[in-house]
Structure 1
């Protein structure tokens, strides 16, 4: 922000306090935003005002603008595909599906042609040689790929245990670069490793680490100017639910604001209600003591959304229905009339929708707890960094056996086979926006004030904020309803 202010001053401009507040809500390069405003400024006034900032966000005037385009399609919905298996056999099918789907993603990398079976590499190691099927200019190295079963700190580095169909193998990340890359992996994700014989390290050590990852790409954009609003974690029924702020948000959606006129879509990322029996002594934090009352009130609030705004809703871990991932949509019997809202479409968690051609992957974000707990350097205050780990792993909930329950599905629907233009999550109650390799990464915060649990965990939420994305430019900005 300092460089943006300095630039404006150097060009002889001042920034009005209201315009300054709006600029701070923008995400991205603020210096470029100020440069664009000064370039587009039509009046001779030396003061940058709110209308100048609005002109950057919504270049056309409301009178000149055509009606906002609204074309949507559900690309993936986990609800109809749920087919839970049982016990060990069910989980064997789940991880088989994960391995095979992710290996097809890895197969797009040129080095994947050198992947060898773990049993072959171990046999070569016992015979004292490291032979690749084809060296491709990397003589003396071998590549394996499989599920990351464990990660342990050893005296000489970080030990990774990799599993494929032929067996398991422990290898050491000894160099600084290899250690850093190994630490950033999510447990139980599929990974590809290039191995070598390193001096001073017994056996094979890791030379390079490759996650499935998303490629650098240009995101799809709406052909005309239209906006999507991303929110999550209302927690209706909790005494910490910020109903007044949410009502301000609903009033804004019905206003004649220039941006509002072009809002075509609203995506709600789960935890619509606070639920019942989710955590010990929850009843002490509730205003409504049963899920039916909570869902009824939530539906009443959501019915105030203008009918012209197409709304997509997925469940979270506090909502009715099963909590294991993937989650089907809200059960009809306990939905409180949610399915009766004509402009709302209820989907499972996760789900992918196309909004004017922009692919939005909606995932509540339960697995962020596990990613933050097991990955060095991550925290709840920067959830977008944890979401990037999921993009790199090409999996929405890779870690099994921790806090996030995972159902033994025959197909692993949490694998990201499609590359999203926007990854939208919630769950951690902290608003954060970033981009990664062309994908806009959004954690849309919450509408619940800080709870006692969050206080004990040292989590400072940023509630009462909606993220608005211009689908034509992919420019996001925050709209604060706390005042």
Structure 2
């Protein structure tokens, strides 16, 4: 298929197209005119679906008469006025950090954090991205002793039949038929084959249900006349004997996310309780004693509510300027004891690239946060070692995609999808759904390094579990239910989260709603 130059220009401008949009533009006679209009309007959406394209077609460009420089100037003037007003009204801290009795030395190492900025997206870059994903996960399988007779698709196409072969492949498509039979299109670097699963044991059926499109798995079976009859499916997964790292001393970490400062649903009272806990300033000697031993605060994204993230968000905002939202956030974080290390990654509401992997919160929107010495602003995902314990932080944008793809997983849950990420050894295993991916020559979303703790947010649900020696934490939120969340049937757990003792990885649930 020859892709027209104009369509390549659109794809190189940072936009991703759904299959329906791609087909529409390929067939549209006024394709060049439509693409010119898209590039002129510059929609906020990264993934352009057919509804977005049709809306743009109907848009009158004359509605935006101001030049880009004029618009920028107006925005800067407005921001300056709002921020100056906010600084004048800045209130003194409600809780004053005090010196700790026993200071804990910092043992913090940033192992890896994405910071790349891709200027141009091309078809070649997408190709290299998926090749990188395939090669990285294939290496994980090649070290497995329970998988034998690994061959590629080119070899299979050259023979008529063979018993017990294994193919490492990307799941190009998956279809569940009404009679319970599953069919797959499997693809590796050599080509594509058809596969079918007709066995009835429930264990195999359950495996098929959990297969995600675009994931890299190993399929074992018999090859007969151009078709692979699947007998078993293997995931790259986490080894059963995965070693666990511990701190040598009692050191605690608090895990939070989804604060949403700037929203009228932001629960300031609960968030202030978390700050008082970190400062050992609560009316509870037991919690204050633990607070004295907290050295790390991990924030898994959505520090602020942002602007224009979802339809009619403006009605939910009390701070309608994102710089002011971050200014307010800096005031809260400044109240925390300066010897507590604060690690922050972005979420989909933050001023960072929407596509995964996300670069750190942009400095031009959050200068005050960057000025606080004990704050570490990282990208998502981020690998950190704190007192010898390895932590993987990801906002968890793809949790909703995974929940929608696997019928056995309840929509209102977080940990099951996090387990699927570990099993697939990838943080965004499905491509082309709600979670956009920014392609690079190396796929930074592959879980090559197995953490001791996997921390995510996004769902506003407070859950925890352990999977093959990996501690899973889905931190709650500091935002009450919004109208948008009601429409999505999201029932949040505000003020609920976990503290972990890094000496033994013991989890302690904490509900700030129940603390005076």
User: TM-score over 0.5 for the alignment?
Assistant: yes
Q: Aligned partners of 1:236 and 1:174: how far apart in 2?
A: 52
The residue matched to 1:259 in structure 2 has which SS? Answer: helix
**Structure 1 residues 66-100: Cα deviation after superposition (integer angstroms, max 9, x where no partner):** 75453110011111x44465221111011011011
Residue 173 of structure 2 corresponds to: 150
In the other structure, the counterpart of 1:317 is 348
How big is each residue's C-alpha offset from its partner over 1:222-251, in whole Å with a ceiling of 9 and x where there is no partner?
011100110000011111111111011111
CA contact (8 A) 2:194 2:227 kept: no
Residue pair 1:69, 1:224 contacting (<8 A) in 2 also: no
Residue 286 (str. 1) matches residue 317 (str. 2): yes
| 1:75 counterpart residue number | 111
Q: Secondary structure at the match of 1:245?
A: helix
Q: Contact between 1:468 and 1:477, CA under 8 Å: does it hold in 2?
A: yes
Q: Tell me if the contact between 1:178 and 1:206 (Cα under 8 Å) persists in the aligned partners.
A: no
Conservation of the 8 A alpha-carbon contact between 1:69 and 1:226: no
Answer yes or no: is the 8 Å Cα contact 1:152–1:159 preserved in 2.
Answer: yes
Indicate whether 1:97 and 2:132 are aligned: yes
How many pairs are equivalent?
404
**How do 1:63-462 and structure 2 match up within 5 A?**
67-79=103-115, 81-83=116-118, 86-112=121-147, 114-124=149-159, 127=160, 129-130=161-162, 140-154=163-177, 155=179, 157-175=181-199, 176-196=202-222, 203-216=227-240, 217-255=242-280, 257-462=288-493
> Partners in 2 of 1:177 and 1:170 — Cα distance?
22
CA distance in 2, matches of 1:146, 1:266: 39
CA separation of 1:85/1:123 partners in 2, compared to 1, >3 Å: closer, same or farther? farther
Deviations 1:163-207, CA, capped at 9 Å, x for gaps: 101111121122232221121122211100101269xx9943111
Q: Is the 8 A contact 1:115 1:142 kept in 2?
A: yes
**Mapped partners of 1:150, 1:446: distance in 2:** 35
What residue is the counterpart of 1:48 in the other structure? none
Distance change >3 Å, CA 407–CA 222, structure 1 → 2: same
Tell me the residue number matched to 2:10: none
In the aligned structure 1, how far is the partner of 2:194 from the partner of 2:371? Answer: 54
* Structure 2 gaps, min length 5: 1-100, 282-287
CA RMSD of aligned residues (A): 1.8
Kept in 1: contact 2:409–2:417 (CA 8 A): yes
Q: Secondary structure at the match of 1:204?
A: strand
Match of 2:22 in 1: none
Give the Cα separation in 2 of the matches to 1:70 and 1:293: 31
Whether the 8 Å contact between 2:301 and 2:346 is mirrored in structure 1 is yes
In structure 1, stretches of 5+ residues that fail to align are 1-64, 131-139
* Residues in 2 aligned to 1:301 and 1:230: alpha-carbon distance in whole angstroms: 16
**8 Å Cα contact 2:193-2:226 kept in structure 1:** no
Deviations 1:96-124 (A, max 9, x none): 11011111111110255521011211332
Query: Separation in 2 of the partners of 1:443 and 1:325?
Result: 19
- The CA distance in 1 between the partners of 2:216 and 2:226, in whole Å, is 25
Deviations for 1:226-285, whole angstroms, at most 9, x for unmatched residues?
A: 001100000111111111110111111111611111111110000101111111111011
TM-score (norm 1): 0.81
* Aligned-residue offset at 1:457: 2.2
Deviation string, structure 1 residues 99-154 (Cα, Å, up to 9, x no partner): 11111111110255521011211332xx2x21xxxxxxxxx211001111111112
Deviation, 1:368, is: 0.6
CA distance in 2, matches of 1:466, 1:429: 10
Q: Retained in 2: the 8 A contact 1:68–1:225? A: no
In the alignment, is the contact (CA less than 8 A) between 1:85 and 1:410 conserved in 2? no
